[in-house]
Structure 1
């Protein structure tokens, strides 16, 4: 049985307004792990050709100084750089998906974002989730403080 769970994307101190930043996530299991939820999210977005999740893992442009915007240019430049590095190797769609999933796991471990399951923070990728009681998953991107 596939369950639809509401996912919400937020940036710390910038709550979501109305339906912007909300979507439904198809979860095909009654029980899964946080790792599975992240994988399902990335798979669903890659299948739709979306980059919303990648925006959780990259700096927010309006919060950057001009020099930072230059150094942290948009994901298109990052993809072009990665493509140039891997030019000698043909990538299949599953390679791309696996790389995106691994990037999401790495971002979770690096505290680039945190996950809240019905308001409770997920601490580990291997935390078990009972999806029959899960209504909402919130991905909150954390922004590092500026300064020294």
Structure 2
């Protein structure tokens, strides 16, 4: 049975206090793991970038799951293939899935399902029709 899961990305910091961007993901079953949710989120973001590469700059400003191409100011300082130049290739899904799993493991983001923090990506989770997964971006502090 295909289930729809509401996904919310939360950001904190200068200029984006508590900003929320949401989407809906279709998942294959009502019984999933955190790993399944992350894989579905990454697949949706990579597919959206492949379908509309011109949105990469916007996506980069709010995606912390997949590795986005550099923006124009970054390109000025560090020339490399971008969405505007020949040679740009969208990220590979499997590589980005592994990168997201690694980011989760090292505490780069927190995932909550229905208000409960997911600590084990292999734990079986049961989705309800009103279920919501929140991805909370954690920005490392600099300094002392």
The DSSP-based 3-state class of the residue aligned with 1:132 is coil
Deviations 1:17-61 (A, max 9, x none): xxx511111111121110010001111121221764883258xxx
**What is aligned with 2:104?**
108
Runs of 5+ in structure 2 lacking a partner? 50-54, 67-73, 82-86
**What is aligned with 2:63?**
55
Q: Is the 8 A contact 1:8 1:22 kept in 2?
A: yes
Greater relative contact order (Cα < 8 A, sep 6+):
1
**Under a length normalisation based on structure 2, what TM-score does the superposition of the two structures give?**
0.68
State the distance in 2 between where 1:44 and 1:133 align.
Answer: 20
For 1:55-94, list aligned pairs within 5 A.
55-57=63-65, 73=74, 80=81
**What is aligned with 1:15?**
18
**What is aligned with 2:52?**
none
Q: CA deviation at 1:134?
A: 5.7
**What is aligned with 1:6?**
6
**Under a length normalisation based on structure 1, what TM-score does the superposition of the two structures give?**
0.67
Q: How many pairs align?
A: 119
**What is aligned with 1:66?**
none
Asked if 1:25 is matched to 2:25, the reply is: yes
